[in-house]
Amino acid sequence: MIGSSLWSRFSKKAGVRHDELKLGRSLSVAVVMVVLIVVASIVMTNHITDNERQRCFDLLFTEARDIASSIETSINNDREVLQLLADVVAQSDDFNSPQLWNLMKSFDHMGFMSQLALLMPDDTIIYGAGQSIDASGLLSFNQELIRGKHISPRSVSLLDSKNYVLRHFCPVNRDGRVIALLYGVIRLQDLPVTMAMRPYGGKGAMFLIEAESGNFLIDTWHTGRLGNLRTYIGKREIASGYDVAKFRRGFAQGEVDYISAKSRTIGEYLYLHYQPVGVNDWRIVVSVPESVVMANALYIEQVLHIFLGVEIFCFALYLLWVLNDVRRVTAEKQRRLETIQNIHEIEQFLFNAHEKKENLFAAIEKLGKIMGAGRINFWMLDRGLNYHFRWEQGHPAEECEKVSLPPVKLLKSFAAGSNLFEAHTPQQIAAIVPDALKAAANSSTAANDPAAPADNVNVAATEAVVQVLGTKLRNIIAVPVRDVVAGQLSGVLAISNVNPDATNVPLLQAMGFSFGMFCNNVKNRADLKEQGERDALTGMLNRNRYERDLPELFEKFRAALTCIYIDVNGLREMNNTRGHDLGDVMLRTVAQAIENYFPDKYKYRVGGDEFVLFVPNGDEAKLTKCSQDLAADLEPYDYHVSVGIECESDVETISHLIKAAEQKMYDQKRAFYANRERRNMHVA
């Protein structure tokens, strides 16, 4: 019994020691595992940090190279445009010619250039028809001539001293000598928008700097101001391992290298890559904050630290699930925020797209990219004038030269009140294709088998259309674009080849409303333009339009043009004796009679009782007969007009043509009043 009890006690103690030993071993293993995890975490963190830093440098190098290449390409394209314009200018005898400057101004805001101007040998700058300034002491023709084709260093704008500009010069040569210097003004405040560069996914910044002066040409980090590199580097803390002297030397010599400096704006280090641009002594610098570079490394380090504090596997899995769920929700929220931001950007583009067509192109491209579409079609129906805009992935948005209406099935569906059309199979898509495509397939099938029955031909043609469309269009989603005020159909917006997504339809319908606002703006602008060009009383074109159309009429019809000058006799007497209301009735009656006998579109009311008409290639005898019939139709109302007709071939000046017609009108007017006085004297 005693031995049994002792063995029992020994066994219990041995069991306790064994449990304690197992616990100690478990703790030791846990400690070792924790140490190993800590070491592995440190090693992995350092490795990831180094990799992220190197990846950052590689990405900065690639983006800087691409931006530099884009800048060089744009500058070369601008230089080619300047050379072509310089050749045109060289052939002009009058540098103040409106026609010349109309051509020049059509190239404004192309490439990097915002405005074109001519620097004359007397240091006078011509920047428009009849617009010039004396630049003596500010720009020197002789100094710029020595440098030939070149881009000047950063300087203050002559027209706006608050802004910096560059000037892209190109000599204008005539008969072996330079008679002027054509240059394009590059406004530096417009360059970031023009280039639309967003390095490092929009989280970085881009700088363009003149190496010799250190002046910034582009600074997307410090918006609204352009400083100097020497001031920037001299007052910033440089990260350990980087040499300021080496940076200055390498930057000046055009080396490709990196540096890290502390930003005063955000209080953290920026990684900067610099390399030369093949234009002047320009250098491109691309930077990104350390927090962005190390975002992945910091995230992984946090995950490793979480694992160090977790001893229960299930809890670790739960924690990971929570983290994953948070990441998913955050990603969804971020996606929604980005969608809202993209919609806002599209609406900003569409806000003034009725004035700048390139903004409409930008809106269509932006919509295609955020929806992941392969193609977007936007048809705008405006007062019988149809416009078709198209974007395809990999190509810029464009306006189709050959305007076509949307498929008839879509128009009928939307006109009946439908707000959505979807086609997700080749058969559904083939059902709305234009009849011309079906007819072409039908005729092709019939040509291959003339003996086939008509029903078989139609089936085969449909199958051919389906086969062709199946390789090009996987699906189509279309929504109507309605006038936001009147509600009538103003256009159709359709996307093709999109991946299945529940948000596509609501987003496209929201965009349909935004495009409806754009259509309404187009309509309002056209109405305002119409009101500004039409005489409210007679409905004819007014004097403003008359003055604007004269140069165009001269250019188009100078070979043979007729001017008809019509004056309403007795309007002043009518207004004075019987009232202006009856005078207005007289003018409207005369205007309607002119519309009846002279259907040409160039008809203007240029004064209170004066009308001027232009008829290209007019027959003087027929026009004289029309004017006599016009006068005869007005006589029953006791309305009388004096008409002067002047027909000319090889019109020397349009003003001479008008004055000749006006003089003939006055001759007829004098004869009219002379006859009336003689009749009055006879009656007396």
Sequential DSSP letters for 191-235: HHHHHT--GGGGTSEEEEEETTT-BEEEESSSTT---BHHHHHHT
> Would you state the pLDDT for residue 632?
92
The mean per-residue pLDDT over the stretch 638-656 comes to 92
| 41-55, 528-542, 664-678: least confident range | 41-55
The one-letter code for the residue type at 250 is: G
Provide, rounded to the nearest whole percent, the portion of the chain with pLDDT above 70. 81
The answer to whether 510 touches 495, Cβ cutoff 8 Å, is no
| 116-120, 389-393, 426-430, 542-546: least confident range | 426-430
Read off the pLDDT band of 15 (50, 70, 90): very low
> Would you state the pLDDT for residue 388?
86
Q: Identify the three-state secondary structure at position 256.
A: coil
pLDDT over 50 at 552, yes or no: yes
Handedness of CA 223, 229, 233, 234 (dihedral sign): negative
The mean per-residue pLDDT over the stretch 553-582 comes to 90
Tokens of 161: 């001293």
- Distance CA(386)–CA(400), nearest Å, equals 11
> Would you state the pLDDT for residue 594?
92
Tokens of 416: 């009946």
Read off the pLDDT band of 6 (50, 70, 90): very low
Read off the pLDDT band of 243 (50, 70, 90): confident
> Would you state the pLDDT for residue 58?
84
SS3 content of the chain, % helix, strand, coil (to 5): 55, 20, 25
Read off the pLDDT band of 31 (50, 70, 90): low
> Would you state the pLDDT for residue 471?
52
Residue by residue, DSSP assigns 383-427 as TTEEEEEEEETTS--EE-SS--PPPHHHHHHHHTT---EEE-SHH
Between 501 and 649, whose confidence is greater?
649
pLDDT over 70 at 195, yes or no: no
- Distance CA(580)–CA(560), nearest Å, equals 39
Between 256 and 455, whose confidence is greater?
256
The mean per-residue pLDDT over the stretch 461-471 comes to 51
| 184-188, 290-294, 616-620, 661-665: least confident range | 290-294
pLDDT over 50 at 120, yes or no: yes
- pTM > 0.85: yes or no: no
The answer to whether 158 touches 139, Cβ cutoff 8 Å, is yes
Between 217 and 236, whose confidence is greater?
217
Tokens of 427: 């058969």
Inter-helix orientation angle 313-351/357-371, to 10°: 160
User: 426 burial class (0-12, 13-18, 19+ CB within 10 angstroms)?
Assistant: buried
Tokens of 585: 């009735």
How far lies 6's CA from each of 12, 14, 15, 20, 488, in Å? 10, 12, 14, 21, 103
User: What's the whole-number average pLDDT of the chain?
Assistant: 81
How far lies 383's CA from each of 173, 377, 394, 532, in Å? 48, 19, 32, 18
Read off the pLDDT band of 318 (50, 70, 90): low
> Would you state the pLDDT for residue 255?
92
The answer to whether 130 touches 99, Cβ cutoff 8 Å, is no
Q: Which helix (H) or strand (E) holds 331?
A: helix 313-351
Q: What is the pLDDT of residues 484-532, one digit of tens each?
A: 777 788 888 988 888 877 667 888 888 888 888 888 887 777 677 767 7
Q: What is the pLDDT of residues 576-630, one digit of tens each?
A: 888 888 889 999 999 999 999 998 889 999 988 899 999 998 888 999 999 999 9
Alpha-carbon radius of gyration of the chain: 39
- Distance CA(359)–CA(346), nearest Å, equals 9
> Would you state the pLDDT for residue 125?
94
- Distance CA(106)–CA(161), nearest Å, equals 25
> Would you state the pLDDT for residue 451?
53
> Would you state the pLDDT for residue 189?
86
- Distance CA(214)–CA(281), nearest Å, equals 10
pLDDT over 60 at 453, yes or no: no
The mean per-residue pLDDT over the stretch 671-680 comes to 70
The answer to whether 399 touches 376, Cβ cutoff 8 Å, is no
Residue by residue, DSSP assigns 105-130 as HTTTTBTTBSEEEEE-TTSEEEEETT
Read off the pLDDT band of 13 (50, 70, 90): very low
Angle (CA) 19 21 23, round 5°: 70
Nearest CA among 376, 351, 368 for reference residue 517: 351
pLDDT over 80 at 81, yes or no: yes
> Would you state the pLDDT for residue 7?
40
Question: Any idea of the CA torsion for 174, 180, 182, 183, to the nearest 10 degrees?
Answer: 150
Q: Identify the three-state secondary structure at position 135.
A: coil
Residue by residue, DSSP assigns 263-298 as -TTTSSEEEEEEEE-SSTTEEEEEEEEHHHHTHHHH
Between 445 and 265, whose confidence is greater?
265
Read off the pLDDT band of 156 (50, 70, 90): very high
The one-letter code for the residue type at 425 is: T
pLDDT over 50 at 682, yes or no: no
The answer to whether 593 touches 634, Cβ cutoff 8 Å, is yes
pLDDT over 80 at 566, yes or no: yes
In sequence order, the 6+-apart residues with CB closer than 8 A to the CB of 54 are none
> Would you state the pLDDT for residue 403?
64
- No. of helices (H) and no. of strands (E), the chain: 20, 22
Q: All domains of the chain, ordered by start, with CATH?
A: 54-303 (3.30.450.20), 340-525 (3.30.450.40), 543-683 (3.30.70.270)
Q: Which helix (H) or strand (E) holds 376?
A: strand 375-382
Q: What is the pLDDT of residues 196-217, one digit of tens each?
A: 667 777 788 888 999 998 899 8
In sequence order, the 6+-apart residues with CB closer than 8 A to the CB of 434 are 404, 407, 408
Read off the pLDDT band of 394 (50, 70, 90): confident
